[in-house]
Structure formats: C-alpha cells, structure tokens
Amino acid sequence: MNIKQLSIFVENKPGRAYAIAEALSNNNINLSALSIADTSEYGIMRVIVDDPEKAKKILQEAGVMVKITDVIAIPMDNSPGSLTKILKILTDADISVRYMYAFVNEHKGGAVLVTKTGNNDMAVAELSKFGISTLDNDNLF
C-alpha cells in the first residue's frame, strides 16, 4: 500500500518553511511527518498530511511548487533492530532506497518509517512476505 507524500520546493530564505507550515495549519491540515533535504540554496520539504489533495491545492494557490509522490509507510516496533530488519528485506530483494525518514505516531504507539524506493509496489510485496504490512493515509491519522 502506497501513501501520498507532499514534495514541496523551498527556497532557503528565512520564513519560507514557516510560511508553508502556516498555510497548512491555517487550513486545518494535520501534519504528521516532515523532512527536508537541502542544498545551500534550496530544499525539498517532504510532508505527510491527512488530506494531501486539499493541501496541494492550498499550497499551489499560495504560489508554492508542490507535487504528490507515492511513498510507503512502514510501522516499526520499538525493539532494537527493527530498522535493520526492514532494510535487510529491501536490500536482499535488490530494492534501492531513494530516501527515508521516520516519525513517532502517538496514536498507534510506535514509530513509522517513510521511504521512497526504486519500486514501491515490489517493496510492499516483499515486506508482506515477512509479515510487515504497510500503512495507508487513513490509518496513519
């Protein structure tokens, strides 16, 4: 199961990231995960929200470059080695990891690993072979 991530272009100027977060919260968009990959001049902000289509519209209207990207969300228990286990499954199946970030999901009482891989569908299938079921946008919130 893939989930929808918002990928947002952010210039490295004071207040840019804040303006984006503010636009979302003003419109009651619930933001549950965020990561930024950046260079010295700009970055790509990746966020998981409860209503990606609505959030995309809001940001576009605010003049922000935004795209929706398919990623997968994998629940992790708090035991040591759970990340290693997931990565091993993907590595053994020869699936590349483009990027990943994690967040704590309070409601579900555990961490969630968000990743984009070279082949998301194959990754989901491989993980399920090991009893790991990926999350969808609905059961994240």
Partner 1 sequence: MWNEKIEKMSREEIRALQSERLVAQVKRMYEKVDLFRQRMDEKGLKPSDIKGVEDLSKLPFSYKSDLRDYYPYGLFAEPMSKIVRVHASSGTTGKQIVVGYTENDLGMWSECVARMLTEIGADNNSFVQVSYGYGLFTGGLGAHDGATKIGATVIPISTGNTKRQIQTMIDFGTTVLCCTPSYALYLGEEIEAMGVKDQLKLKAGIFGAEPWTEDMRKAIEDKLNIKAYDIYGLSEIMGPGVACECKEQAGMHVWEDMFIPEIIDPDTCEVLPEGASGELVFTTLTKEGFPLIRYRTRDICSLNYEPCKCGRNHVRMRKPSGRSDDMLIIRGVNVFPSQIEEVLIKVSEGDITPNYQIIVDRVNNNDTLDVNVEMSETMFTDEIEAVEKVEKKITEMLRSTLGIGAKVHLVNPKSITRSEGKAKRVIDNRKLH
Interacting residues toward partner 1 by CB under 8 A: 5, 7, 9, 11, 16, 37-39, 41-44, 46, 63-65, 67, 69, 98-99, 116
Q: How far is the CB of 82 from partner 1 (least distance, A)?
A: 25
6: left (phi over 0), alpha (psi -120 to 50) or beta: beta
For partner 1, give the closer residue by CB, 45 or 127.
Answer: 45
Whether the Cβ atoms of residue 114 and residue 102 lie closer than 8 Å to each other: yes
Q: How far is the CB of 16 from partner 1 (least distance, A)?
A: 8
Helix, strand, or coil here: 89?
helix
For partner 1, give the closer residue by CB, 105 or 115.
Answer: 115
Q: How far is the CB of 61 from partner 1 (least distance, A)?
A: 11
H-helix segments, 2-140: 16-26, 52-61, 82-92, 120-129, 137-140
